[in-house]
Amino acid sequence: MSDGTLSNSSTTIAVCDQPIAALLAALDESDGEMDGVSHALEESLGRELSDGFDRSEIARLAFRVGIETTAPEKMGKLSDAIGKHAQQNI
């Protein structure tokens, strides 16, 4: 479920947040909770609903929802940023 593939170490980000890690672990342990949260995030982004989510996918979707909610003009630059990154890393 990736919107784009980048070709170096910038494809991974890490965030240390114990409360969020605990929440993701709890969602992962509860049947249907992971999908329910993921579907709500996808709906918020206006996407079709998918299946088979993991903690990383929820974090990625939540980050996008947060940026779109608080700074939508930055998400408008996403395509340009992906293109620029691809050109610099060919």
Helix (H/G/I), strand (E/B), else coil: 3: coil
Q: What is the pLDDT of residues 42-68, one digit of tens each?
A: 999 999 999 888 899 999 999 999 988
38 pLDDT above the threshold of 80: yes
**C-alpha–C-alpha distance, residues 43 and 25, integer Å:** 22
Q: Which amino acid is at 88?
A: Q
Give the residue-averaged pLDDT of 28-51: 91
For 19, 22, 69, 86, 88, the CA distances from 16, given in Å and listed in that order, are 9, 11, 22, 27, 29
Centroid of chain to Cα 58: 6
